[in-house]
Structures are given as structure tokens and as C-alpha cells.
Amino acid sequence: MDESNSLYSELVGPQNDETAANSSDTNTSSSNVEIMKTYDYQNVAITDIVNSIIIDSINNRASDIHFNPTETGIDIRIRIDGELRLYTQVPDYVKRNMITRIKILAGMNITESRIPQDGAIKQTIQDKAVDLRVSSLPTNLGENIVVRVLDYSMSSQGIETLGFSESNLQKLNKMMGEPNGIILVTGATGSGKSTTVYSILQKLNTIDRNIITVEDPIEMNIPGINQVQVISDIGLTFAASLRSILRQDPDIIMIGEIRDEETAKIAVRSSITGHLVLSTIHTNSALNTIERLLDMNIERYLLGTALTGIISQKLTKKLCPYCRGTRKTNQYEKEIFKKSLNLDINEVYEAKGCDKCHNGYLGRLPIHEVLLLNQSVRDAITNNLKKEELRKLVYGSGTITMLQDGLTKVINGDTTFEELVKAIDIDDSDLTSTGLTESIEESQINKESLKNDETYKKISEKTDSDYEVFNLDFLNK
């Protein structure tokens, strides 16, 4: 029981600690957990029940369906807007049949339950075309199955609908207009990177361009694009596929993810030899991405030349437009708004809750940081400038930090301060690491004219900790 509890708390995350603690009492699933559905296991065939669970979860906008084995059966939980909720509890006598049914659907080996397996469900269930990735993991209580719902309907609606601010969208369009170079989309798993990448690809997908992708897995089929599935078992790795792709006269290459040095190097070289390369990488900001690539032994001058732009993103909850209310900002929030955007914000939107949403939120909203590299940032990378200097240049070239983008979205009522704080750590150290102060400072100071100015010198000499409390008001005089 202890094991399953720790699994729970890990999966649910700290915000649901109470749930995890309460679930030590196995049979009374804690009072604050709401079961969404019950099924008639006595009279309905298991195949129909599994189908209904899948379709109902998708209709509830679930991104994942978890079949967690317990001592008394299976707890099915579904993730909606990033949060796991208990969907239903399955009795013990149905446990084995249900797991087997899912494994059959996913094309897995049902005689093997001791090793993890991967599968996929791509068919029409109850008149609905579904595309699901399924994985199994043997635990002490049975096989744990997680079904990932692939839904790329967002990306076919166009890049304009993805929540980019006007200025970030302009930068993005500029990047996409380049004939060569590398565009990287960065963020943690589940931050919506694929949706952004597919949206970009669809925008670039015209008859006069040969677009080839190498992916693992291919998450969405796009007509008019040649998509290659990586099969590492037979040696068709990212790197091997890329080498072949280069002989296929591509204009644009999309690499599912840059995971290793070899892939990174081919990506850089391809972009320098006249291809536009699009890829994702698992980092959390533009600066970290540059460092990560340098760690992969990419030569500085090559990276400085190759990199076109970096789009970093995180997902936060989207405020329900039907029921949102307003409230006064507290002192801390006022300070953050002032420091970050130099705005006096006395009122913000807050979550309420209605029958259209879950606790005041409806769907998810990305927060972005879009870096379009200019010559000085390129030079800084090439010339091995100190990290601090590079940061100043990056955030001084008009790059809006994720915090600034998020706060703007709070002001606009697209999300709340509470949810933004969960997505972005706004403690003092983060204020500097996001380049917050530099961003405003550099964009508002003409460096050349102020080089000898006492004020500029004072800023230049400031250390990290000084920046945290530095008052920027004078910059606007």
C-alpha cells in the first residue's frame, strides 16, 4: 500500500498531497476526490466498457488515461487541463480482463506482463477516430497502463491560435521566413512543443518546399510532408535517418527531438548548408538551450551562425471566460507587476467556477519566451562571452521573458496570478535568472549613448542580488 501511495503522490504532484494522504484508506477513496463515472460490470461486455471509458475521457478533454492497479482493482484517473482526477474505480474481478482488453487494442503481447511494453490504438471507436499511445509498466500490484491521447486539432487551427502575443508572433513569422538556420522549440514534456512544431510545419507546408521529418513517434500525419519514423532497433536512429534525408534534396527538415550530440551536430551542419531545420529540445529557456547545445560539443562559431530562433514554452491553466471575476492585487503581486512590466496593477481576474469549467479554468494556455537571434547575440555565442553578458544581450534584444509574457496574460484575464506562480517560480533568484531586470534595462537604454554615463556604469557593476531589488523607475525619466 505504501508503494502505491508514493506512486500516487508522485504522479499527482505536491498540490494534491491531501489526496495522497487520504488514500491510505483504500476503500474510502478520499472525500475530496470525485468519481466521475460508474459502469455496470455485471451486464455490459468489457470491450464496450473499455470503449466507453476511452471515448468518454476524450470527450472530457482528457490528455491521458491512467489505469492504476490497486489491491482492490483498478483506479482509473484521467488528466484534464494538466490535473489528474479520479474517473472511476474498477472492481478486482474485472481487473485482469480490462488490462488484457486494452493490451489487445494497443497491439501488445498479452502473454507478457513482466516487462514494460508500448503500443498504439489508432482506430474508430464509437464513431470517433482516435489516436492513442499506450504504455504498460509492471508494478507490484499489476500492470499500470497509461493511455496518452494525441490530439493535434489545435495545430491545424493555425499558429495564430496558439496564444502567442502579437510581438512574439511577429518574431516567429520572421524566423519562418528564413531560408536556413535552426528554429528550436523548447520546454518540458507535455508543454505543448509538438503542437507548436506541427503548427509551424503546416504553415511552411507549401508545394514549392520539400519538407522531410524524422520523428519518434510520428505524432500526426501531415499530407504533403515526408515523415520518417525512427526505428532504433534496426539502426534507423535520428542521426542515421538524417544522413539519408540530406540526400533527398530537402528544403526544410524537422527533427522530432535533439537528444544526443550526433543529432545536434548534423542539425547544425544541415542548417549551415542551406536547410531550415526545425526541432525540439528539452530545456526550459533560451539561455539554457544555448548552453545545452554547447555542452553537446557544438562549436561556438557554428552555433552562432546556425541558430535562428528559440521558442520556449510552458503551459498554465486557462481562465474560464464565462465565470471569471476580479479581485484586488496584494502588495507582493503589485511589486511583481511593477518590477517586471513597470505597470501599476491594482486589480486582476480570478477563478470562480461554473458548469462550463473545472473550478474556474477551461483548457490550457501556453506562456512563451521567443528569442530571435540578432547579430550581437550571435557574436556573443561565437566569442564565448560570459553567461551574464550573454543573458544581458539576449534579454536586451527585445526578448520578452516568460514571466513578462505570463503577467501580461494575467492582466488580460487569460490566466490567473495563482496559476502563473505554479508554472513559473517567481522567487527572487528566478527574477534574475529570467533576465527580468536586464530585459527592461537594456531595451530602454541606448547602450552607446550611455556608455560613459554614471547611471549605466552603476547598472553594469550590479551583481545578481542587486538586480533583485534594483529600482528601475529612473529608466523611464
Q: Which parts of this chain interact with Zn ion (CB under 5 A)?
A: 320, 322-323, 354, 356-357
Q: Which is nearer to Zn ion, 348 or 390 (CB)?
A: 348
Q: Which is nearer to Zn ion, 303 or 357 (CB)?
A: 357
Tell me the helices (H) and strands (E) count for the chain, helix number first: 20, 15
Residue labelled with grid coordinates 537604454: 445
Taking the complex as a whole, how short is the minimal distance between the CB of residue 329 and Zn ion, in angstroms? Answer: 21
Taking the complex as a whole, how short is the minimal distance between the CB of residue 413 and Zn ion, in angstroms? Answer: 12
Taking the complex as a whole, how short is the minimal distance between the CB of residue 10 and Zn ion, in angstroms? Answer: 30
Residue labelled with grid coordinates 524566423: 175
Taking the complex as a whole, how short is the minimal distance between the CB of residue 317 and Zn ion, in angstroms? Answer: 12
**Is cis: bond before 217, omega within 30 of 0?**
yes
> ∠ CA(339), CA(340), CA(343), 5° rounding?
75
The rounded distance, in Å, linking the Cα atoms of 274 and 81 is 40
* Contacts with 131 (C-beta within 8 Å, 6 or more apart), sequence order: 120, 121, 122, 149, 150, 151, 220
Taking the complex as a whole, how short is the minimal distance between the CB of residue 323 and Zn ion, in angstroms? Answer: 3
Residue of minimal Cβ distance to Zn ion: 320
Taking the complex as a whole, how short is the minimal distance between the CB of residue 414 and Zn ion, in angstroms? Answer: 14
Taking the complex as a whole, how short is the minimal distance between the CB of residue 253 and Zn ion, in angstroms? Answer: 43
Q: Which is nearer to Zn ion, 82 or 256 (CB)?
A: 82
Q: Which is nearer to Zn ion, 292 or 358 (CB)?
A: 358
Residue labelled with grid coordinates 561556438: 300
Longest pairwise C-alpha distance within the chain: 83
Taking the complex as a whole, how short is the minimal distance between the CB of residue 85 and Zn ion, in angstroms? Answer: 16
Give just the sign of the alpha carbon dihedral 90, 96, 100, 103.
positive
The rounded distance, in Å, linking the Cα atoms of 333 and 327 is 12
Q: Which is nearer to Zn ion, 12 or 319 (CB)?
A: 319
Closest by Cα among 324, 474, 323 to 412: 324
Q: Which is nearer to Zn ion, 51 or 359 (CB)?
A: 359
Closest by Cα among 361, 366, 350, 362 to 402: 366
Side-chain-facing half-sphere of 141: CA atoms under 13 Å: 19
Q: Which is nearer to Zn ion, 328 or 356 (CB)?
A: 356
Q: Which is nearer to Zn ion, 93 or 322 (CB)?
A: 322
